[in-house]
Amino acid sequence: MTNYICVTCGTQFTESEQPPKQCPICEDERQYVGPNGQQWTTLDKLTHSHRNSYRKKEPGLMAIGMEPSFAIGQRALIVQSTSGNILWDCIPLIDDATIELVAGLGGVEAIAISHPHYYTAMVEWSKAFGDIPIYLHEDDRRWVMRADERIHFWGGETKTFFDDITLICCGGHFDGGTVLHWPAGAGSNGALLTGDIIQVVPDLKHVTFMYSYPNAIPLPAEKVQRIVDSVEPFNYDRIYGAWWNRNILTGAKQAVKDSADRYIEMISGKKSR
């Protein structure tokens, strides 16, 4: 029995004797099945073909991503706190070197994930650090492909951990699309860890919002505005996006507002400023 991993999105499935016939995550219109059809791998195979890279982004924040890039290519972040560390988002590969490095940072107390495209091998990560809880928004419950007792579904608009680290449900890309507010980030000016619920674009001065990024399906104006309104009460000067170096290091709150105005103007054809 094997927990197969989808090559296109990196999602790990409940164990089975044969690979699943399909990946519902990829067959959804927000993702895609590649031109060569559905393909599968395993964690064991990934440990032989890939490794994890580690980069310190600022005091108290470590990034972990796979090399060479695999599936969607996101990287995870470890938020360090005096009360415990949180793994934000997840990647398909967990190996001995990663476990040793994370242990040296103080381990991990909890896992929180922005949306189903980044669930990947979350159960393996939980097991590696002592069966720690995994927090997912209940609105995305149906996208869990490997059910497990370590998964805890939370509801409503926000969930606060220790040291005022807070999950914010913004919706948008997925109904349960979530970002993490880290008050101690950016020199205590606050940082948002956004996955691609709020995606930092290449100019590193703006963000964007989409229902599907690979298929270029936009979000309606009201859902974009909801995202902006959801994060408005929180102080933040910095955004860490989903990929290496996709970050806005200062002025992020204004960048979100300006980017949303521009987005809404373009899809509605009406000037908002």
Would you say residue 213 lies in a domain?
yes
Query: Which DSSP symbol is given to 106?
Result: T
- Exposure string of 228-259, with b = 16+ CB inside 10 Å and e = fewer, is bebbeebebbbbbbbbeebbbeeebbebbeeb
Q: Which residues, in sequence order, are bridge partners of residue 211?
A: none
Mean of pLDDT over the chain: 97
Distance in angstroms (rounded) separating the CA atoms of residues 117 and 127: 20
pLDDT in tens, 226-272: 999 999 999 999 999 999 999 999 999 999 999 999 999 999 887 65
pLDDT of residue 272: 54
Distance in angstroms (rounded) separating the CA atoms of residues 92 and 105: 20
Would you say residue 273 lies in a domain?
no
pLDDT in tens, 118-167: 999 999 999 999 999 999 999 999 999 999 999 999 999 999 999 999 99
C-alpha of 163 from chain center: 21
Q: Judge whether residue 273 has pLDDT over 80.
A: no
Domain of residue 241, CATH code: 3.60.15.10
Of 49, 33, 41, 37, the residue nearest 7 (C-alpha): 41
Burial label for 67, CB within 10 Å (0-12, 13-18, 19+), is exposed
Would you say residue 46 lies in a domain?
yes
In the chain, the percentage of residues whose pLDDT exceeds 90 is 97
Would you say residue 191 lies in a domain?
yes
What pTM was estimated for this model as a whole?
0.96
**Residues of the domain holding 50:** 5-268
Query: Which DSSP symbol is given to 201?
Result: P
Q: Indicate the pLDDT class of residue 190, thresholds 50, 70 and 90.
A: very high
Would you say residue 21 lies in a domain?
yes
pLDDT of residue 196: 95
Q: In a 3-state reduction of DSSP, which class is residue 227?
A: helix
- The tally of domains found in the chain comes to 1
Would you say residue 252 lies in a domain?
yes
